Amino acid sequence: MARRKLLFLLAFVTVISQLSHAAAFNILAIVSVPLKSHYMAFQMLFRELAIRGHSVTVINNYPDVNPPPNLKFVNISTHGPNTFPHMTEFEQSEYASFYKFQNLLKHIVVGGKRAVMDCENLFTNENMKQFRAKGENFDVIFVEQFMSDCGLVFAALYDAPIIGITSHTLLPWAYARLGLPFDFGSEAFYFSDAGTNPSLLNKIQSYIANLFFTTLGELNIYQNIYKVFDMYVPNNKLNVDTIAKEKMKMMFVYQHHSVTGARLMAPSVLEIAGIHIQTPKPVPKDIEKFIDSANHGVIYVSFGSNLKMSTMSSKKLQQFLDAFKKIPQKVLWKIENSTLIAGNENVFGSNWFPQLDVLCK
């Protein structure tokens, strides 16, 4: 199976490469959710396609600063308030099992709200209006598969095959649309911490959570999507599952079996983890000095760019620092306000790190 998938990917890349000498593709990529790390996972794919002679248009919130000539962007960034949760929200419950269920509900509610925001932005953003007015045709469309399927439904307005892309492991509802079974015996639910060897209780929890998420979760998100499309595309007969099953020809998944464990995958589903990694550059001198002085190595701690470490309570912050003092390794910690950790010699805090360069050093 792995060999067949590798041959399938090589065939796809070869065909794309060879066609660049005869008839370049006109490619559209929709990465509409405002999460920069999601776009960065596929940034090099779009750049490389443009470098090889194809015309690539990317709809996203974070246009490249110096794109190659064939790479264009439709900037749909908004300047509304940050709606991502504060770290204190993850400290509210002392009951872990209850909080997991509460967090599941929050994903469903937030997913529905974000679906509306995402959909409306695709139709009301001024840059999008200008883009749609051009009436361009495309040969293939890449669409991010996350908590909203607005991009997928939007792509269906064009007569072109669709390739799904996801910057993480497959979401619960993706299995059915790809014709894949969800194996509770070897896989943990997406939001579970059971790992690759779940216990019987983990399997039962995964089954219930998966059923809950793929029924109520899908229903909530889909209803919100259809409301927006009914408003801007009257009399449409678009159906998310039908589009996914009939028009989505491939799925590029940012995962690897060395981390997730062996999973049942269709030939059209390709694991491409690491596609964004480039040759590392030297790290800044102060970071290099800190790393080189660590006799037992360095641990890199980052919760991404959406969850702000500076919003956690002072109690939780101190618990982190106390834990770091008990280990022999030094710590690089991505935190917005490094003064919060002043006086801790084994911790280097900064609001930004050249992450790939640090991890590849």
pLDDT at residue 98, as a whole number: 45
Please state, in angstroms and as integers, the Cα–Cα distance from residue 351 to each residue in 6, 148, 347, following that order: 38, 29, 13
Whether the CB-CB separation of 133 and 123 falls below 8 Å is answered with no
pLDDT at residue 243, as a whole number: 85
Give every CB contact of residue 249 below 8 A, 6+ residues apart in sequence: 161, 162, 163, 268
Q: Which residue has the tokens 């909203």?
A: 148
pTM: 0.80
Name the CATH superfamily for 2-271: Glycogen Phosphorylase B; (3.40.50.2000)
φ/ψ of residue 35, rounded to 5:
-130, 105
Q: What is the pLDDT along the chain (361 residues), one digit of tens a residue?
A: 555 555 555 556 555 555 445 568 999 999 988 888 888 889 999 999 999 999 999 999 999 989 999 999 999 987 655 555 566 655 655 544 544 556 666 666 656 677 778 888 888 999 999 999 999 999 999 999 877 788 888 898 898 999 999 888 887 778 878 888 777 666 656 666 666 677 788 778 777 777 777 777 667 777 777 788 788 877 777 778 788 888 889 999 998 888 777 777 888 899 998 888 888 899 999 999 999 999 999 999 998 877 788 788 888 889 999 999 999 999 999 988 888 888 888 999 998 899 889 988 7
Whether the CB-CB separation of 33 and 114 falls below 8 Å is answered with yes
Whether the CB-CB separation of 134 and 158 falls below 8 Å is answered with no
What 3 state SS string does the chain have? CHHHHHHHHHHHHHHHHHHHHHCCCEEEEECCCCCHHHHHHHHHHHHHHHHCCCEEEEEECCCCCCCCCCEEEEECCCCCCCCCCCHHHHHCCCCHHHHHHHHHHHHHHHHHHHHHHHHHHHHHCHHHHHHHHCCCCCCEEEEECCCCCHHHHHHCCCCCCEEEEECCCCCCCHHHHCCCCCCCCCCCCCCCCCCCCCCHHHHHHHHHHHHHHHHHHHHHHHHHHHHHHHHHCCCCCCCHHHHHHHCEEEEEECCCHHHHCCCCCCCCEEECCCCCCCCCCCCCHHHHHHHHCCCCCEEEECCCCCCCHHHCCHHHHHHHHHHHHCCCCEEEEECCCHHHHCCCCCEEEECCCCHHHHHCC
d(CA 346, CA 322): 11
Please list the residue range(s) of the chain that carry CATH number 3.40.50.2000. 2-271
Q: Which residue has the tokens 């060897």?
A: 197
CA angle 174, 176, 179 (to 5 degrees): 110
d(CA 26, CA 49): 10
Which residues is 58 bridged to in the sheet?
29, 73
